[in-house]
Chains A and B, each alone.
Chain A
Amino acid sequence: MNSLFPSIASRSQSSGLMNFFVPIISIVLTLITGSIIFVLLGFDPVYALYTFFISPISSTYGISELFVKATPLALIAIGLSYCFKNNIYNIGAEGQLTMGAIFGGGIGILFHDTNAFWLLPLMIFAGAIGGALWGLIPAILKTKFNTNEILTSLMLVYVALFILDYLVVGPWKDPFGYSFPKSRPFSESGRMPLLFDGLRVHFGLIITLFLIFISWFIFSKTIFGFQLKVSGYSPKAARYAGFNQTTLVFFAFAICGAFAGIAGLAEVSGPIGLLYRDISPNYGFTAIIVAFLGRLHPIGIIFASLVIALTYLGAEDAQLFLQIPSAVGFIFQGLVLFYLLGAELLINYKLTYKKLL
């Protein structure tokens, strides 16, 4: 007779093929679990899944929306890879995004009646600086005082959100805005150019693809990418090699913060056009799932961002057509992460049922 509870034993060799399939398996399992949830809620699972995953992208507009949502996710996720590869758990990208929006948006508000070619580049630059500076705070705390970056970066998210809150109800409030908590709109040249007429997909997508390409190059071809990887795998080996780990921590945080900051600026200068309270539906947190679902690989992150963006759109459609709360989208995101981590465990370990004598 075997014991009821399995124990975990490590596999002598993890299969490379399975490694590749982990994200796909997790998505399939998510869909299966999702249909079970829909059935329990009393919906036809085929219709519900269709509403959730197919109908949102069955029009050109829908596909454009998919890219609008995927853009910040992919950009933040690739930034997070710099940290995660180095075993730095920066989970404060949402705060870095917010700071980027504040810095870049601040320039937009300052020059709200200026129309000049340099405005948008300046806003993007300011957004990157804002995000990077916010990212450097946990980096300094980690390297100087050995604090845990998970806590500090997370707490700084809320500080950033409150700063934004203060600005849009206080000094940066739109004087003609009937006291709504929002800023003046940016001038036309402070907005991300649209890529196609009538669709919301904007220039931020091009910036994102460019930065993903650059990151791919850095990760696979440069000594800096190599140093990040080594110090993530083994800090001792990095010390032996003479890599400066403090510098690596600073760079990883600064780059991640800058990317998140650009993502935040792209949101406010793209679809939104001004600063207000809820500029991001948790892109900074969801991007953590995207980064891992994409296995910290640039190409993987592109696909993962599309999948997760779809859960955002699906949640909206489900709310509209099925009258279920849009939080269902978060359930799907949670399920993907759950199955991803589960599958990852099973790749490296197997369950064994001990024989009871």
Chain B
Amino acid sequence: MSDTILNIENITKSFPRVIANKKVTFDIKKNAVHAILGENGAGKSTLVKILYGLLEPDEGNIKLNNKDFKVNSPAEARKQGIGMVFQHFSLFDSLSVKENLILGIDEKMSYSDLENKLENISSRYNLPLDLDAPITALSAGEKQRVEIVRILLQDPQILIMDEPTSVLTPQEVESLFVTLNALVKEGRTILYITHKLEEVISICDTVTIMRSGEIIDTSSTANQTPKTLATKMLGQKLDDLKTNYGHIKDEVNFEVKNISCDFNDPFLTDLKNISFQVRVGEIYGIAGVAGNGQSELMDILTGENINIKSGSITFDNKKIEKYGPQKRRDLSISFVPENRLGHSAVPELSLSENILLSQFPKNNFIRNGIILKNNVDDFANNVINEFKVITPGNDAKASSLSGGNLQKYVIGREISSKPKILIISHPTWGIDAGAEHSIRESLIELSQNGTSIIVISQDLDELIEITHKISVIYDGNLSKPFKTSEIEIEKLGLLMGGKNE
């Protein structure tokens, strides 16, 4: 057993309402990329939190290099050689990259030492950083780079990565894989947590599949296909999805024309002359790397920002660029911004109450300023049933739902009002494969029933799977659209990297 670095034996961890890990047992080999694959709520996060000293297991042992391993804090875990890069960043927004790195490491280090070490790491693993940039100025991808570098500064034996590619471009993913391979070559071990089936096969050596807190299987990835993995992970077969153009009408019902917007803010991307048209029943995808103007464009499409410099938005022959969100909803335009917690939903409120955030003229939710609770509750129950949202009931707080369930609920809320157009940003960001699949299916179904959809997403697979047309946003410029069925991935990748020949 000399090639095993970590033995996990019979780990059990229960929470008041749920057993998150049930007698979890598997070994992790040294010098390998080991994937843990599972839906949200499968128990992956609990397991890695135990490894990283954030949670204490109720039962079970962990052995690191055949020695008992027990830690009570991340600092201890790091001292023993386990580092972790979280999916959600824990960086101080107002501080610079350099300051964050200094703060994030356990031993004292001078700036010059840091810079020396960093140069080494940056070049060896292809992780370039601007040390003096404030964190707020960085894209999600760059923030992740800071997180990775911060952990590498402490020379870990095992590096836990939680959904590392969710914010990266294809090129960045590739360079991340180069980084990971280099790390493994040096004798380190990567524990790779993901929902993405292709990634498991392309980068990982071994995969452990979890479902409902239990280990379903640990095996080599050599003989696996995305289908076999998905079946084990979900316990059910996934249907194939295919692009269908038949139902799209020629009529354009949403047109953005030469929208420009200056923010005068180094942390925001100015929008430059953005134009595109969406036809009735069409799903229009906007691809791009985080921080190229997506959220700025989203705010303008939803009406949360109406201070544009020039340009127009036309919907059903009405100029709507000066309309606020409610006036747009009154025209049956609906939107789902990227962030569920605190933007498209309020975590502290119940599911029923969250319905009221988005009201359309057809909804009969309010009479003379008084909320008609029965109508709202019925609507909520309907969304819960129709979109298979797992929750104890419509009075459960939004914060009690898993990311995937809440997203199904939010999207269900919008779709249930049968909008003429749905504008959605990152529909499946950070949610499990089951919810992802059902959300994509409902978007396709919605478009087939005649609703136009604009999808802003960094997930190319997603855009290719569901959209009819894709254009790429880069530094506030939007490329011309490409038909999804004829698209070349390389071409998209180049556009996303700002190369337009």
A residues in contact (CB < 8 Å) with B: 12-13, 221-224, 226, 229-230, 233-234, 236-237, 239-242, 354-355, 357
Contacts and interface: CB of A to CB of B under 8 A. Distances in A.
Interface stretch (B88-96, B321-329, B383-391): B321-329
A221 B72 contact: no
Nearest to B345: A237
Given A240-B302, A240-B344, A354-B73, A230 B357 contact: yes
Given A240-B337, A354-B72, A229 B358 contact: no
Contacts of B72: 354-355
B346 A234 contact: yes
B303 interface: yes
B346 A357 contact: no
A233 B370 CA distance: 21
Contacts of B302: 240
B356 interface: yes
26 contacts: A221-B370, A222-B369, A222-B370, A223-B369, A224-B369, A226-B353, A226-B371, A233-B348, A233-B349, A234-B343, A234-B347, A236-B343, A237-B344, A237-B346, A237-B357, A240-B325, A240-B335, A240-B343, A240-B357, A241-B325, A241-B326, A241-B357, A242-B303, A242-B325, A354-B73, A355-B72
Contacts of B359: 241
Contacts, number: 66
A239 B373 CA distance: 22
A241 B325 CA distance: 7
A354 B356 CA distance: 44
Contacts of A354: 72-73
A310 B339 CA distance: 47
A298 B223 CA distance: 64
Interface in B337-385: 337, 339, 342-349, 353, 356-359, 366, 369-371, 373
B329 A242 contact: yes
Nearest to A227: B356
A224 B369 CA distance: 7
Of the listed residues A12, A222, A239, A241, the one surrounded by the most CB atoms of chain B closer than 10 A to its CB is: A241
A240 B305 CA distance: 10
A221 B371 contact: yes
Contact of A223 (B73, B335, B370): B370
Nearest to B329: A242
A241 B358 contact: yes
Of the listed residues A237, A240, A241, the one surrounded by the most CB atoms of chain B closer than 10 A to its CB is: A240
Nearest to B400: A13
B445 interface: no
A240 B369 contact: no
Contacts of B76: 357
B303 A230 contact: no
Contacts of A355: 72
Contacts of A234: 342-343, 346-347
A206 to B, nearest CB: 24
B266 interface: no
Of the listed residues A224, A234, A354, the one surrounded by the most CB atoms of chain B closer than 10 A to its CB is: A234
Interface in B297-339: 302-304, 324-327, 329, 335, 337, 339
A13 to B, nearest CB: 6
Contacts of B366: 223
A357 B79 CA distance: 12
A300 B342 CA distance: 27
B392 interface: no
Contacts of B343: 234, 236-237, 240
Nearest to B325: A242
B220 to A, nearest CB: 35
Interface string B209-228: 00000000000000000000
